[in-house]
Amino acid sequence: MIKESVKVVKYDKDKEKIKSDSKEMVYLDKEAVDMEQYGFDEFFQKKWSEIYNEKWIDELNKKSELESNIVPARVVSDHGQMLKVISPYGELMVKRPITHQLLDQQVAAGDWLAIKYSVEMEDASIEHVLARKTKFSRAAAGIEVKEQIVAANVDVIFLIQSLNKDFNMRRLERYLIASWESGAIPVIVLTKSDLCDDIDRKVTEVEVTAPGVDIFSVSNLTGEGIDTLRQFVTRGKTVALLGSSGVGKSTLVNRLAGQELLKTQAIREDDSKGRHTTTHRELVLLPNGGIILDTPGMRTLSLWEAEDGMEKLYGDIESLIRSCRFTDCKHNNEPGCAVQKGLKNGQIDEQKWINWNKLQKEMRFLNAKKRSKLRAAEKQSYKRQSKASVFSKIDQF
Ligand SMILES: Nc1nc2c(ncn2[C@@H]2O[C@H](COP(=O)(O)OP(=O)(O)OP(=O)(O)O)[C@@H](O)[C@H]2O)c(=O)[nH]1
Ligand SMILES: [Zn+2]
């Protein structure tokens, strides 16, 4: 697998030498993959130079001062023990980090790595995981709450719902909160406009739920509205897709690409049942520039530390809460409750208040789980400490 994808020659006089005093003479083929189009921009250059004291320079002849075979690579997809990456050498498979310092480090699709490529071994290994621009996380399933990074370094997230069957404002709120948490910019895309005859009403509903967020209604069938999305899909920018099965994520990517990059599968429109048809390549380059990151983890989403997002979405409610007379106000019948007053005079929407309460409950649950995990960790370290002090006492004798 590695063999066929690697474009490396060991020694070739026609090609420029990268490092003359290096034992391993490494030359990149002239057709080396351009890392910038995969999103290796100023931000990652900076992270790179923080580690290697120098920028990564794509032009091969300027590379003389760099460790010749340490190159940036971006994770294309996750294959359990192995990660598929795109590097200047082409696509490579690398093992997940196993060294002690990197063991605890999560690596997700979209991550930028520094990899060491050995020509002799035809083997690549991870040296560093570069600091992330953004990270999309979710709470991993299980008793213990664990942050699971499902996509890294995403610039824009298309929050996709279809205008016919999948339309759900509660879900959209969750998408929005998770997107803001990630650090990426959310953009709402409503698909299947060809199957909807009250688009305006639905768009208005979305505007109320997501004030200030760009909303686009598109049809992947007729192509209507697709061009308005192109402003977000530009060279070096990474766009991730968030949306239920069958809303038209793959079809949208193919539309934007102008060719079939992702496989799609017909679904039964009568019950909106879709099947997971996306093939296992999570990061794809669009022919006209722009990168699409489409990870399975973003399909099933639960909240992970949503505080920041809450502030943006429910800022009006939260500022009212702060002006309640009692700081421990339950907002039921307490005198001087600003929330009840706001509900009565229409300052806040009743549905929004109900949603806010639901989200609070979810977050309380999540926080409680996190706290209990923290306590367990504290116990562990206490145990270790007391063991250590026993040993230090023994040492004194
Ligand atoms: N009428 C209409 N059908 C669409 C539109 N977009 C997608 N479809 C159809 O909806 C079905 C599902 O589309 P996909 O692109 O596979 O959906 P997906 O979101 O990628 O689904 P998963 O891969 O299961 O997550 C296909 O039959 C598409 O042809 C649209 O804008 N209008
Ligand atoms: Zn109150």
Tens digit of each residue's pLDDT (9 = 90 or more) over 109-124: 999 999 988 766 667 8
4 pLDDT band, cuts 50/70/90, is very low
pLDDT of 162: 93
Answer yes or no: is the ipTM higher than 0.85.
Answer: yes
Residue 394: CB within 6 Å of ligand 1? Answer: no
179-221 residue pLDDT tens: 888 889 999 999 999 999 999 999 998 988 887 889 999 999 9
CA angle (241, 112, 43) in 5-degree steps = 90
Q: How many CB atoms neighbour CB 56 within 10 A?
A: 18
- Between 226 and 5, the more confident residue is 226
Cα separation values, 389 from 376, 379, 392, Å: 20, 15, 5
- Between 297 and 149, the more confident residue is 149
Residue 275: CB within 6 Å of ligand 1? Answer: yes
pLDDT of 214: 94
Residue 217: CB within 6 Å of ligand 1? Answer: no
The Cα 94–Cα 190 span in angstroms is 37
Which domains can be identified in the chain, with CATH numbers? Answer: 2-129 (2.40.50.140), 135-298 (3.40.50.300), 314-390 (1.10.40.50)
Residue 277: CB within 6 Å of ligand 1? Answer: yes
293 pLDDT band, cuts 50/70/90, is very high
- Between 206 and 30, the more confident residue is 206
Least reliable range by pLDDT among 53-57, 67-71, 370-374: 370-374
pTM beyond 0.80: no
Pairing of the two strands 156-162 and 70-79: unpaired
Residue partners of 33: CB distance under 8 A and separation at least 6: 86, 87, 88, 89, 90
- The response to whether 194 counts as a known ligand-binding position is yes
CA 262 to centroid of ligand 1, rounded, Å: 11
- The response to whether 251 counts as a known ligand-binding position is yes
Pairing of the two strands 156-162 and 185-191: parallel
Residue 255: CB within 6 Å of ligand 1? Answer: no
pLDDT of 240: 95
Region 344-366: mean pLDDT is: 81
CA 278 to centroid of ligand 1, rounded, Å: 11
- The response to whether 196 counts as a known ligand-binding position is no
The 8-class DSSP code of residue 308 comes to: H
Q: How many residues does the chain have?
A: 397
Average pLDDT, the chain: 76
The 8-class DSSP code of residue 132 comes to: P
Is residue 153 a contact partner of residue 238, using CB atoms and an 8 Å limit? Answer: yes
Least reliable range by pLDDT among 12-21, 86-95, 120-129, 330-339: 12-21
Indicate if the pLDDT at residue 174 is higher than 90: no
Residue partners of 3: CB distance under 8 A and separation at least 6: 122
- Between 179 and 226, the more confident residue is 226
Is residue 25 a contact partner of residue 11, using CB atoms and an 8 Å limit? Answer: yes
- The response to whether 193 counts as a known ligand-binding position is yes
Residue nearest to atom 6 of ligand 1 (CA): 248
